[in-house]
Homo-oligomer: A and B are copies of this chain.
Amino acid sequence: MDQDWLEQIRIRIDQALDNSLGRHLGDSKLLDAARYSVLRGGKRLRPALVYAAADAAGASPHAADTAAIAVELLHAYSLIHDDLPAMDDDALRRGQPTTHIAFDEATAILAGDALQALAFSILGEADIRTDRMRVKQLNLLGEAVGFRGMALGQAIDLESEGKALSLDALKAMHAKKTGALITASVLMGAACGNPSDDDWDALTQAGRAIGLAFQIQDDILDETAPTETLGKTQGRDKMLGKSTFPSLLGLKASEKEAYALVEIAQGALARVAGDTTMLEQLARLSVERTN
């Protein structure tokens, strides 16, 4: 991994997130809760995918800033709501109390709501240069997080607690719950440039493979990594009676599946005309990470 590039991108995105949640939005407990949730760190995988895909599509980092912020704000809102008592009821996230513990439940719900509003409304920013690009990004995000994407995935996940899912059903659920926004991150970046239809298809395939590989690694870490490294409660999925890749396949086969998906992603990326070095490295990082 080109650590320099990733480190620079993280600094860029942390700065952009800090600005987007700045005091122009007021001085409220609501904003404090959102800043607490968003700015305490995080892997920033999704915005990194945006910048990497923008690079592959020949677009500058500047042209990709809005898309990068949007996907991370949506990710942050989803974590806040997923952790709520009515959902996964989790007390720890990124090594610190979850938002509804650090603040209160109503504030956590509303902070998530306001983050989602901000994520969409910044698609009105000037770095999106044409109406065609803006429409594309609105459609990508809407599809990724709404009734057919992340929210649906979370609803299916909750309904599935205590039931043994088939491998296909587990994959279909995760394709919505985590895969949709990860794939959208790649395509949001690509949409900042002007990729050919073939490049678009290859990037879509790569995004889906990276999304699923990332989730399998999440399940593996939930079982194997200590809470301190993980930053969230270890073994939480098992406790909630959730089906996971290791529970269905075992640890060894899950690891194999994750690496096979990275190879699929790399195969797809090899067909893209532009420079996909960063995307390939992020694909590997999605399964080589320890938290």
Contacts and interface: CB of A to CB of B under 8 A. Distances in A.
A111 B86 CA distance: 13
Given A31-B147, A113-B112, A155-B29, A121 B107 contact: no
Contact of A86 (B34, B87, B105): B105
A197 to B, nearest CB: 20
Interface residues of A, number: 52
Interface in A107-133: 107, 109-114, 116-118, 120-124, 130-131
Interface string A118-162: 101111100000110011101101110111110110111011000
Interface in A79-122: 81, 84, 86-87, 104-107, 109-114, 116-118, 120-122
Given A122-B142, A138-B121, A147-B30, A155 B107 contact: yes
A128 to B, nearest CB: 9
Q: How many copies does the complex hold?
A: 2
Most buried by B among A29, A109, A152: A109
Most buried by B among A26, A110, A134, A143: A110
